[in-house]
Amino acid sequence: MKFLTPATTNPIDQLKVIGHATDRIDGPYKTTGTAPYAYEREAAYGYVVGAGIAKGRITSLDVAEARRAPGVLAVVTADSAGKLGKGKFNTAKLLGGPEIQHYHQAIALVVAQTFEQARAAAQLVKVKYSKEQGAYDLAKAKDGAKQHKDKENQDKKVGDFDGAYNAAPVRLDATYTTPDQSHAMMEPHASVASWQGDKLTLWTANQMINWSKGDMAKTLGIPEENVRLVSPYIGGGFGGKLFLRAEALLAALGAKAAGRPVKVALQRPLMINNTTHRPATIQRIRIGATREGKISAIAHESWSGDLPDGKPETAVQQTQLLYAGPNRLTRMRLAVLDLPEGNAMRAPGEAPGLMALEIAMDEMAEKLKMDPITFRIINDTTVDPAKRERKFSTRRYVDCLRMGAQRFGWDKRNPQPGKTRDGRWLVGIGMASAFRNNLVQKSAARVRLDAQGVVTVETDMTDIGTGSYTIIAQTAAEMMGVPLKQVVVRLGDSDFPVSAGSGGQWGGNSSTAGVYAACVKLRELAAQKLGLDPTVAEFAHGEVRADGRAFPLIQAAANGELVGEDAMEYGDLDKKFQQSTFGAHFVEVGVDAATGETRVRRMLAVCAAGRILNPKSARSQVIGAMTMGLGAALMEDLVVDHRAGFFVNHDLAGYEVPVHADIPHQEVIFLDETDPVSSPMKAKGVGELGICGVGAAVANAIYNATGVRVRNYPITLDKLIAKMPDF
């Protein structure tokens, strides 16, 4: 499919359906409980047994008593499963034994007729271990951390950072930390597996259907065409369901062993210790500037940890692109830790990276005696600072700052910390930049037109609560000139054309671009069937018009269904342009002068993210991301037991996330923007941009309220109270 379409001939630019605030078409199914989630199928029940140590070996695994328990149909272990491969996207083995790589690594599955029978029998599995000493403390492992072998994770240097930094008249050198965090989505990791001969069907909660289909086939050692994944509805993912996980593999193995369909859902403690999490970071930022506020040198170094085959948390990537400065250094180091796998969580890299960088920018502005927004505007850039020949496709970063400042009342902020009171509350206002790279992925779709005039879209794209069903329907309706009610969308099935999937903020723009491509094919077929020139044919109001003639669209399928299938590809687009999304977050907090309790009072996000395909669902995405950012700033912290090597607060009672009472009024503004470079939709991603910078905006507001600078997240009252001003 040719990528760029002239604006005059791009049907999306009509904006009859696209760009309008539209109710989610899947909403009625979810609110009435009729949307089928992965676990909601009849099957025998599997219960996962997790390892009781973090590192070592199983010396004996006795399942005899469990096998004899009432209702038990099968017990699966590494021995009974036989040789298993390892998928491309898994750092640890999904079924452990005899080696144990992390706490709660799955080591057995008990299958029974009822859930209660499976759970009771699982308690009868007897395991003995030989423990080994593991590494669980990032701070202690930091000095032994190493550079990762992958090219994209190497040190990046521009100019002479050391020389420029040492010569700078104004300098900052500060270290910040972010903790391990959990995805904490509502729906657990859940799968139902069924075999028909040598073919496996897996109903699962998964964001990337094609990735996981390939990994399942590789792990089981069977042809990829023998695996079908189905995932039409997902109850939240945030990156935690990007990859094949233990419950999916064990459901498949359990179904094979039991000779019937088997369902497996991870209990909450295993979700936190068995699956992936956002890894903790230690980040050092150095900035050198002229007395006029121009950055002359900037360095961002980050340390994180993971299992031996893991990768670093890419917390420095926004610093490579967000601010100008001729002398630059970014560096990442990875420590080997024997904790559960660290991997993608909403806005990996930028979310924790901006939590540090955007405090540092405020600290530097204070050293310069300069307004924080002015300091950021002075250091704006229109090109990639490391590759100055590569321009941003669009960059309305400064517009976001200025609009946010005007809307939030920044001019009324007292820049002197600790001077604004509302009774017992110390009141402060803070801001931070938002930045997230805009990624595009190849995405395909199939579009059908039947004799009733119904347009059906099929693609393996997933909807993790992001509104994929609706924006895909809007795209097809716009392209084919039919009302939204005449479009049927079928998602999340590996039998459908391979889409971009849901991840990396690329899903909405890329998947709709794939639907656009398929609709172009269908338009050509329909016009030809009606004897019209496809290059000039207009599709509107259920008709096809060209050269003064008009025919009902339905007539094109009178002699049989028409099917258009195609994909959108991007070639070397990323080499020609730097594509990024921008924004600004503004936060007002109140901090109790006696107790140090922080309450967020107001939040504003201003976003520049290309064309907004559905403002209603896009706003929902951004306020959800803002909520996650607030949680990261004030409460979220997976506490590591450094002796035993596991996350202590591995449930939703101990792992605190924001609730309704924590969330104030949230306002979201989308700049009126299109990006013709990004795709024919002229859109960009927005669902992860909303979390980027929120934590730092909260931290900066707390400093403005109290004069206490906290560089270690989360900002809990114990870190404030000892340094608070007198009541």
Active site residues: 688
What DSSP string runs through 544-606? EEETTEEEEGGGGGTTS-EEEEEEE--TTHHHHEE-EEEEEEEEEEEEETTT--EEEEEEEEE
Q: How many CB atoms lie within 10 A of CB 718?
A: 8
Peptide bond into 223 cis (omega under 30): no
The Cα–Cα gap between 350 and 369 comes to 27
User: Contact at 8 Å (CB) between 35 and 99?
Assistant: no
The Cα–Cα gap between 580 and 596 comes to 37
Residue 250: partners with Cβ closer than 8 Å, 6 or more residues away: 46, 48, 76, 94, 95, 106, 109, 264
Rg (CA), the chain: 27
**Can you read off the two tokens belonging to residue 45?**
């029940």
Residue type for position 201: T
The Cα–Cα gap between 391 and 575 comes to 10
User: Contact at 8 Å (CB) between 216 and 229?
Assistant: yes
Sheet strands side by side (includes 56-62): 99-100, 56-62, 126-131
Q: Which of 463, 460, 504 is nearest to 239 (CA)?
A: 504
CA atoms in the 13 A half-sphere facing the CB of 104: 23
Q: What is the dihedral of CA 363, 368, 369, 373, to 10 degrees?
A: -70
Residue type for position 9: T
Q: How many CB atoms lie within 10 A of CB 558?
A: 10
The maximal CA–CA distance of the chain, rounded, in angstroms, is 83
Residue 406: partners with Cβ closer than 8 Å, 6 or more residues away: none
Residue 479: partners with Cβ closer than 8 Å, 6 or more residues away: 11, 12, 515, 516, 519, 520, 522, 523, 539
What DSSP string runs through 411-468? GG--SSTT--EETTEEEEEEEEEEEEE-----EEEEEEE-TT--EEEE-----SSS-H
User: Contact at 8 Å (CB) between 388 and 394?
Assistant: no
Strands 646-647 and 665-670: unpaired
The Cα–Cα gap between 18 and 361 comes to 38
Residue with tokens 């965090």: 181
Residue 558: partners with Cβ closer than 8 Å, 6 or more residues away: 451
